[in-house]
Amino acid sequence: MFAQMTNSLDFHSKALVVRAERQRVIASNIANADTPGYVARDVNFREAMANATGNSTSPVASRMSSSTSNSKHIPLTSSTGELGGNPLAYAPQTQPSMDGNSVDLDRERSNFVDNAVRYESTLRFINGHAKTILSAIQGQ
């Protein structure tokens, strides 16, 4: 019975970790907006959550978790490893630049705010769920 009560908390705690990692990647993109040759990165939330929860049955997830296509290629992994080895994807370049930087500040700022709002809503859900369990235990 306790496992049933904590299943949603476990899912949301994993979502919180993935959102935090995505926020770190987006912040890195914004910080390197003026770095010549910097290529913007992003975390595919759906694939990262599928890998975090053990439901990586989609063809994209299996293709992404496989080894590189050539032995000389460097595998793309999270620098902190918080996502369990989920590869980071390259963000699509929307505006070409002369220095080879692919960061679109408008898109990155939008992604940053969107991810921050979703992070906050996940935190609020976890807090609400914990308060509900606590009030059930206390009998109020």
Among the ranges given (58-67, 106-115, 120-129), the one the predictor scored with the smallest mean pLDDT = 58-67
- pLDDT computed for residue 57 by the predictor: 55
Asked if the model's pLDDT at residue 84 lies above 80, the reply is no
| Mean pLDDT within 69-86 | 57
123 pLDDT tier (thresholds 50, 70, 90): very high
Q: What is the mean pLDDT of the chain?
A: 81
Listing DSSP states for the chain in one string gives -HHHHHHHHHHHHHHHHHHHHHHHHHHHHHHTTTSTT---EE--HHHHHHHHHT---SHHHHHHHS--SSTTSPP---SS-TTSSPPPEEPPP-S--TT-----HHHHHHHHHHHHHHHHHHHHHHHHHHHHHHHHHHT-
Put simply, whether the predicted model's pTM sits higher than 0.75 gets the answer: no
Total tally of structural domains belonging to the chain: 1
In this predicted model, which residue has the larger pLDDT, 70 or 80? 70
Asked if the model's pLDDT at residue 43 lies above 80, the reply is yes
Residue ranges making up the domain that contains 60: 2-138
